[in-house]
């Protein structure tokens, strides 16, 4: 009952946000809840896996912008006339080719509307990329915002596993999740950089036994047939990297039968190894203090200089 009420309040908030977006100037987008990585499936009238075929932008006057001036100073250009109304939200029309359906009435093609820029809650779809799309339908218009659970499908494979189980009435693995690279940029734009990490060993360790499996090509791992109990999960990351759950736990605990995916992000560990040499090319003696030296003509380079 608590989960049902939480989902209802979240959906009411999304509907209210959609109405406010159609009447207010674009500002920083703020979402109440709706974390795509949460255990519960995000709400949506239509949930599909689909590839972006095209994007069309309605090149109209931005919301609440002044019309082009004829050169008259703004203070003198105040002739009487109708009050300018904001343009409706959703100036970007995105056509999707649907490959898998989870909820809602969607055919082989789906057209959704979003907005320009994530600051206006517009989702930054890219042509040719595949997404797990959570869309909302109101008065015949289908919209997608950054407040939805929409993600590139390559990083949403654990969520897709969960949606397939709900749709088909099948049983989820005892423990499962996605292992992928940590995005170097924040937000939805950074999600496009996430890549699955195949062929990594995932360990589930209890007080009495240890079980292992491998990540598949899409980064998904599954454990089935685990005895009841509490397990510590761990991912054997490649050299120079660390795999963390929720960005901070290397060995989180989990129990079989809980429908929550245990997703890991693979970070660079930030460690630098090598031999320290002085300016004369010889190993220094005594105490050394490292400092960063950035060449003027190569701002992305980092060298270690002993001073």
Confidence band of 67 (pLDDT split at 50, 70, 90): very low
Average pLDDT over residues 15-29: 47
User: Which pLDDT does position 19 carry in this prediction?
Assistant: 44
Q: Which tokens belong to 185?
A: 């940029």
Model pLDDT for residues 118-154, shown as the tens digit of each residue: 788 899 999 999 999 999 998 888 999 998 999 999 9
Reported as half-sphere exposure (CB side, CA atoms, 13 A), residue 240 has a value of 3
Q: Is pLDDT above 90 for 173?
A: yes
d(CA 141, CA 149): 18
CB 191 within 8 A of CB 206: no
pLDDT higher than threshold 90 for residue 263: yes
Residue 45 has pLDDT above 60, yes or no: yes
Beta bridge partners of 242: 267
Distance separating alpha carbons of residues 190 and 124, to the nearest angstrom: 11
Residues 37 and 17: their CA atoms lie apart, in Å, by 21
Q: How far apart are CA 182 and CA 267, in angstroms?
A: 6
More confident residue, 165 or 2: 165
CA distances 100 to 117, 167, 261, 272, Å, are 27, 11, 20, 44
Question: In the prediction, which pLDDT does 66 show?
Answer: 36
Contact 265, 238 (CB under 8 A): no
- Is pLDDT at 3 greater than 80 in this prediction? no
Q: How many CB atoms lie within 10 A of CB 156?
A: 26
Q: Give the CB-side neighbour count of residue 293, counting CA atoms within 13 A.
A: 8
pLDDT for residue 221 is more than 50: yes
- Tens digit of pLDDT for each residue in 89-106? 678 999 999 999 999 987
| Residue showing tokens 């809650």 | 121
Q: What pLDDT shows up at residue 32?
A: 65
Over residues 266-283, mean pLDDT:
81
């Amino acid at each position: 009952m608590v989960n049902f009420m939480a989902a209802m309040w979240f959906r009411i908030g999304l509907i209210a946000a959609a109405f406010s977006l159609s009447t207010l100037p674009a500002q920083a987008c703020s979402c109440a809840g709706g974390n795509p990585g949460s255990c519960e499936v995000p709400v949506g009238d239509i949930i599909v896996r689909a590839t972006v075929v095209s994007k069309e932008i309605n090149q109209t006057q931005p919301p609440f912008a002044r019309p082009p001036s004829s050169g008259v100073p703004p203070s003198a250009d105040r002739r009487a006339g109708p009050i300018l109304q904001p343009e409706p939200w959703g100036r970007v029309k995105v056509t999707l080719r649907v490959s898998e359906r989870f909820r809602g009435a969607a055919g082989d093609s789906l057209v959704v509307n979003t907005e320009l820029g994530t600051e206006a809650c517009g989702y930054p779809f890219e042509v040719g990329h595949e997404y797990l799309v959570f869309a909302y339908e109101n008065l015949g218009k289908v919209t997608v915002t950054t407040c939805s659970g929409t993600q590139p499908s390559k990083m949403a494979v654990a969520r897709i596993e969960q949606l397939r189980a709900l749709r088909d009435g099948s049983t989820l693995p005892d423990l499962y999740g996605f292992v992928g690279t940590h995005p170097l940029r924040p937000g939805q734009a950074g999600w496009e950089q996430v890549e699955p990490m195949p062929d990594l060993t995932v360990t589930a360790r209890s007080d009495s036994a240890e079980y292992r499996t491998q990540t598949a090509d899409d980064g998904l791992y599954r454990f089935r047939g685990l005895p009841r109990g509490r397990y510590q999960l761990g991912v054997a990351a490649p050299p120079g990297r660390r795999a963390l759950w929720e960005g901070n736990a290397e060995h989180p605990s989990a129990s079989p039968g809980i429908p929550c995916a245990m997703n890991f992000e693979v970070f660079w560990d930030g460690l630098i190894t090598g031999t320290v040499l002085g300016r004369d090319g010889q190993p220094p003696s005594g105490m050394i203090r490292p400092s960063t030296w950035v060449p003027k003509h190569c701002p992305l380079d980092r060298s270690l200089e002993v001073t």
